């Protein structure tokens, strides 16, 4: 289902909502954070490196947007105990969670299966698939406490149509599509809406790594696409459940 890229963010439309974004320090995650904070949401910015999270935090605060919360966590090595601690911290500070955006991902490498580095395969599956599973499992109780919650998995076209050489990245995105569908059916009778979104190509490090010969300036900026996420976290996202969304138009 196509979701329009052009969305006009209204000041304070997400005021009072608490939304966790993974990979919030740069790329699409930072653009999403900026727009959610511009719309008044309190963003829990999860990232693996505190220094780069702090740098991103300053940009959000300097712009005059809602002050975010920083949460350093390496999704590759995070343990169930660390996810429990995250649940406890969010519960203590907010008592609920209104949105969870699984954005962090790595490309791994572009390589035929025959030559794919096995350690990199495991890392990619861990960050792109197993971490979103664990994060979701530990945060469902808090999403259940919100009146109208969202879980959004940032996917990609390689997760909807298999393509040669995309290796663990493509496989992880296919699995995320399946996981999202499973979860949306399990949570069908709750207040939690679960969907995937393919944002399309953007000028980010991940895209540059996948297409090193491409002139990256021809691609849209992440900030061209992130306002639509505000819509999905707000009222217009309420109608979608178990959908494979795609930004376009
Ligand atoms: N760019 C595109 O054209 C495009 C197209 C379709 C879909 N997408 C999807 O959009 C999402 C964002 O991608 P992007 O293009 O913005 O990529 P990006 O610029 O490479 O950013 C990836 C983000 O994930 C974080 N991350 C990676 N490993 C992590 C770990 N172990 N623990 C915590 N955070 C980690 C990175 O943090 P560090 O700074 O610490 O590395 C960074 O914040 C991804 O899900 C991607 O699949 C992108």
State the Cα–Cα distance between residues 213 and 211, nearest whole angstrom: 6
Q: pLDDT tens digits for 100-146?
A: 999 999 999 999 999 999 999 999 999 999 999 999 999 999 999 99
Please give the distance of CA 172 from its chain centroid, rounded to a whole number.
Answer: 14
Atom of ligand 1 nearest to the CA of 222: 16
Q: pLDDT tens digits for 59-80?
A: 999 999 999 999 999 999 999 9
State the Cα–Cα distance between residues 206 and 203, nearest whole angstrom: 8
Q: What is the pLDDT of residue 195?
A: 98
Residue with tokens 């966790």: 20
Expressed in angstroms and rounded, the spacing between residue 249 Cα and the centre of ligand 1 is: 23
Q: What is the pLDDT of residue 249?
A: 74
Ligand 1 pocket, residues with Cβ under 6 angstroms: 23, 25-29, 47-49, 52, 74-76, 103-106, 127, 154, 156, 198-199, 201-202, 204-207
State the Cα–Cα distance between residues 53 and 71, nearest whole angstrom: 8
Residue 87 near residue 141, CB atoms below 8 Å:
yes
3-state helix, strand, coil in the chain (%, to 5): 45, 15, 35
Q: What is the mean pLDDT of residues 135-161?
A: 98
Atom of ligand 1 nearest to the CA of 158: 6
- Which structural domains are found in the chain, ordered by start? 2-198+226-248 (3.40.50.720)
Q: What is the pLDDT of residue 181?
A: 98
Q: pLDDT tens digits for 183-204?
A: 999 999 999 999 999 999 999 9
- As annotated, the active-site residues are 169
Q: What is the pLDDT of residue 122?
A: 98
Task: For residue 120, count other CB atoms closer than 10 A to its CB.
Answer: 16
> Whose CA is closest to 194, among 154, 144, 153?
153
Q: Which of 83, 104, 132, 223 to mutate to test the pocket of ligand 1 (most atoms within 8 A of CB)?
A: 104
């Amino acid at each position: 289902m196509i979701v329009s890229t052009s969305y006009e963010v209204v000041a304070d439309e997400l005021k009072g909502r608490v939304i966790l974004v993974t990979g919030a320090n740069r790329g699409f995650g930072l653009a999403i954070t900026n727009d959610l904070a511009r719309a008044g949401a309190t963003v829990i910015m999860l990232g693996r490196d505190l220094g780069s999270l702090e740098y991103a935090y300053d940009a959000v605060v300097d712009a005059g947007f809602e002050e975010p919360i920083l949460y350093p966590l390496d999704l590759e090595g995070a343990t169930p105990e660390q996810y429990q601690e995250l649940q406890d911290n969010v519960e203590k500070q907010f008592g609920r969670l209104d949105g969870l955006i699984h954005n962090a991902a790595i490309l791994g490498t572009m390589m035929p299966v025959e030559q794919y580095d096995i350690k990199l395969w495991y890392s990619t599956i861990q960050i792109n698939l197993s971490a979103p599973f664990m994060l979701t499992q530990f945060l469902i109780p808090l999403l259940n406490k919100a009146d109208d919650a969202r879980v959004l998995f940032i996917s990609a076209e390689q997760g909807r149509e298999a393509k040669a050489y995309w290796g663990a990245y493509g496989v992880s995105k296919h699995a995320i599509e399946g996981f999202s569908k499973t979860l949306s059916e399990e949570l069908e009778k709750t207040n939690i809406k679960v969907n995937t979104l393919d944002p399309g190509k953007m000028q980010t490090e991940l895209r540059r790594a996948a297409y090193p010969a491409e002139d990256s300036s021809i691609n849209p900026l992440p900030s061209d696409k992130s306002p639509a996420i505000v819509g999905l976290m707000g009222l217009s996202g309420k109608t979608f459940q178990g959908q494979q969304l795609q930004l376009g138009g």
